Chain A
């Protein structure tokens, strides 16, 4: 799901630049030479960034303004592919799926991660390292292995829940039905990423000075009050970060549904999520141009939602870091 926030790179550059311009004018020449130095240090990143992100993006955009056909070859269609995406029911059905998914799964996962982070931080837990590692391990399990594990657990004929239900004389649950699938997937994603988010929160909690806890207890705060009134507000930047990661990751959901497709292809079709749609457009349909346009529109949708969310929280006076 979410990896590194690419926005942190450019933001860091701007911060340095504005600091430099506030220096006295007498040292301008040396400053100019000094101004090159940060970019030299940044060059390994910038080169890779250009080669593996900017260049493919430019190429994908170039691809998206053409249409290649099996008969007749390549035509320039300007924004024709984009207009088609705008009215493509398959694409928007995928977005709608993920909005339902995100609105339910992300709050549950983050609340769980937060609770685990706070409990682990409290120091009353024995073998803390073991628990931390245990919660984090699902994140390190390869998705193919995860699909096998969950494929077995959800199995409608021989899965453990089916066997249990049969043993009790109950109708077996169908985790792979149309209606249940989004929740079955949400369950897998929560299993995978709760530990990842927990580690972020745990690190942020460790950064809170311990005198705050002492001060709070001197003032008579109990541990609930300390968690809700002291820790939670101080964690807000970390929570915002994980929310942005999760929005990003949710809308790009691919691995989990793609793996579950092997056991429930009748539910997870070729346009279940926008990324799955783009993949099949390119890999099976040979519609590379249209796949590129779909990917770009998906990028715009993600940017719009993540940007809108950041604006909304900033305006509400949230203390963003």
Chain B
């Protein structure tokens, strides 16, 4: 192998250049920010080998729980309990505890549903669409984003479930044989929604789980290697040192590694890293990516049909499906950044995988999808005038200058103006600034749905107009859903591999058997050419 592919030489050169001094370079940040499109930056920093990748990512699960985790979990739990109590209060009392009225029969519940489903779009986009586009930087964030997707869809699914009022009739949503001899109406978008969100949740869960099987097997094997080491919990409440007999009474030893080996062992399904298995596994993965790609685009399209197929002015537009999908990806990436930036700061070594370049790429996607959303807002307004439908025009004037003008302009500021800052390099490389913008985008996308839903308040006849305001139950239910989301997310960070270990290893230069680093000495070259003229012919 006399000729070295320029990409490989470049990757090798860049890895070699990195040193401790490169950490705070104002131009390249961690060595991965470059304006030269011909340069391929490394995806894993710190001159790591495979073992150190395993040690770092598994370490987050296996080491002592970090101190910040407990207060964060406690706060999330309290919020989750508040949300659960609010749902129980709703069920035992009725939907009257919400601020719904006639004409606004859909309030915060549908706003929260659409907001959460939208957030849930980033995970499968990153794992499916970016997989098909061979964007290798996705390997360090896909597990994280997929987990976020699943928890967001769980929160989303809660709202329509409790919105039906008589929750014990929620099974009417599904085509289940019943004593009334009736079936659901398959010509209604609300039923399509049940299938779209249900399929999306199931496929996302399967995709996430399948991707995790090899990493769970790694955790299993590491737990087996430490099988008989007990984990001892000392007295946390008493001042040290304690007399020996007290220490004995208050110290608890549990066979944590034994439990872990069974826990991960069952979940790993007996995976043993066989290449024959990997071959089927990769095929299944790419097939799933292939079907999940149209799925991602279909789910929010179907959600938008809930609005667009109705005949309400301001809802009945063909721009809704693409604009909802762009908005969903926009908010999903913002939520990934909101969670990723603190995690990256709190977990040691995570910055080597989630590089400044990865964050920068996500900022660029936010600007792209934010611009699509901004274009859609302006186009909607234009068509409301150009379409010469007085009801449509009036609906939009009321949105921008009516009783909910403040929500409209919050939406315009957060979704149209704020993502444009990422045209500037300083903005998309400054972590604190990105974090703030990601929260602004989340707020903006919530208000987008609020603006759409409150279009109902101005009905066709002025006599049936009604102003909608949430009650404290609405607000606490929403806050509670954030608590449920964070509780699930913190459990994920504590017990499951946060980064896709095998995928990260696969994009490291050492993983390529044809990498020049393996053919420097010329020892294998002759043999290699001789034995593999079949595979060489394919290049």
Partners in one complex: no
B contacts, CB < 8 Å to A:
none
Chain A interface residues (CB < 8 Å from chain B): none
